[in-house]
Amino acid sequence: MGPLEGARLPTIDVVKNHPRLAQAASKLRSQFRQWREGSGVTDKSLLRESAAEFAVLRKRQHLSRENNAALQMKVREKVAGVQTPGVIVLAMHRSGTSMLSGLLVNGIGYNVGGPLIGAAFDNEKGFFERIDVVLQNDEFLKSQQMWWGGGIRSYDSDKAYDGYKSGSIRFTEGSKGLKFLKDTNNAPWLQKDPRMCITLRTWLRILEPSPPPAIVFTYRHPMEVAMSLKTREQNFSLELGLRLWIIYNTHAIQNSQGLCRVVTTNENILKSPLQEIQYIADELTNKCHLPAGTNRITQEQVDQFIDPTLQHNTKNKENQRILETIGGDHNCHMKDYVSEYETGSEHHNRELSMYKTAMKIFCDLDSHKAFEQDYHWPTIP
């Protein structure tokens, strides 16, 4: 039995009502971060220790366009007459995927399985991420000397798959998630981990010969994401956050070409959550042939789950000064922001250049240009 197999993390209500449990949840969150970024995937002791702590507490209380075309043909052949088993949510970190996934799981009835990463100070409603899949994605990235916040631009999905097939990349955690995803009794399932933007093509090959999943792609304003990351992570600059926003969203679109994709935005979900979540669910069923969930979402469920204050660092864009209108589209403006660097300095100029590149993609996502197969992705400065 693996170090986390059979372990259950505390529910959100339990964490809220018991300060000691909340403290332990925060400690686990910190331990996971340290483990992911430095201690090595093969070190099981930290996971075993964390699972044991919670057990005690419970007792006490980019492929080329040609390859994309080939994938589209392959998907069409597989989808013909076959129901889609599940949906993968793709988005950059801090883009509202936990809110989106929570509403689809709790409101529509999609199956996420477990164990899941529990609630934390920066995500009070929970992450809705399977621990085993997150750890396996970390393993894929670490095998190529990268982690979710660095080096991911050069991730090679074929190399990762070859490592999985040969056994040179450990698949201990991934095998648990794979068993869940390939069990037809779990449909319609939902899988969410921002790293999937990078590793999706590896997982698509691993999931064969099962029918391919549907995709829900969502995105959030790049400066909001960068500011949220800067608040949460140590030594994260706005420039790095913006660079990651570009890489994750670029890979998410490119890697999901040819799959049945439903697009939403963090802003749309916050504006009209009841209508937007039901729209997503209906599109997944009618367009992507995902089995319908067990429920239709209610306003009561929305009110219980959505807390606008959870959207940290959200700017009042109406009152912000316009720096530039992007691409001649008068509805898409690059707004002013607070920088820690002096205007005109080298650091500020690099930050501003990265912001402009991210905004070009953001505006093209809004206009749907970025979803065209021949879209020219801007070069990262």
* pLDDT of 298 higher than 90: yes
Q: Is 323 helix (H, G, I), strand (E, B) or coil?
A: strand
Is the domain of 37 the same as that of 179? Answer: no
Is the domain of 133 the same as that of 174? Answer: yes
Residue 2 lies in a domain: no
Residue 150 lies in a domain: yes
* pLDDT of 307 higher than 80: no
Question: Which pLDDT tens digit goes with each residue over 4-42?
Answer: 433 334 333 433 444 554 454 455 455 545 544 444 443
Residue 120 bridge partners (DSSP): 123
Residue among 191, 157, 162 nearest 177 (CA): 191
Q: How confident is the model over 267-272, as a mean pLDDT?
A: 93
Residue 380 lies in a domain: no
In terms of residue numbers, what domain contains 366? 317-371
Residue 376 lies in a domain: no
Give the whole-number percent of the chain exceeding pLDDT 70: 73
Residue 274 lies in a domain: yes
Q: How many CA atoms lie less than 13 Å away from 17 in the CB half-sphere?
A: 6
One-letter amino acid of 68: N
Question: Which pLDDT tens digit goes with each residue over 96-154?
Answer: 999 999 999 999 999 999 889 876 665 667 788 999 999 999 999 999 999 999 999 99
Question: Which pLDDT tens digit goes with each residue over 158-185?
Answer: 999 999 999 999 999 999 999 999 999 9
Is the domain of 212 the same as that of 294? Answer: yes
Q: Is 322 helix (H, G, I), strand (E, B) or coil?
A: strand
Is the domain of 221 the same as that of 324? Answer: no
Q: Compute the distance between CA of residue 265 and CA of residue 249 in angstroms, rounded to an integer.
A: 12
Is the domain of 287 the same as that of 332? Answer: no
Is the domain of 275 the same as that of 330? Answer: no
The DSSP code for 358 is H
- Per-residue pLDDT at 376: 95
- Per-residue pLDDT at 329: 63
- Per-residue pLDDT at 127: 84
CATH of residue 146: 3.40.50.300
* pLDDT of 74 higher than 50: no
Number of domains in the chain: 3
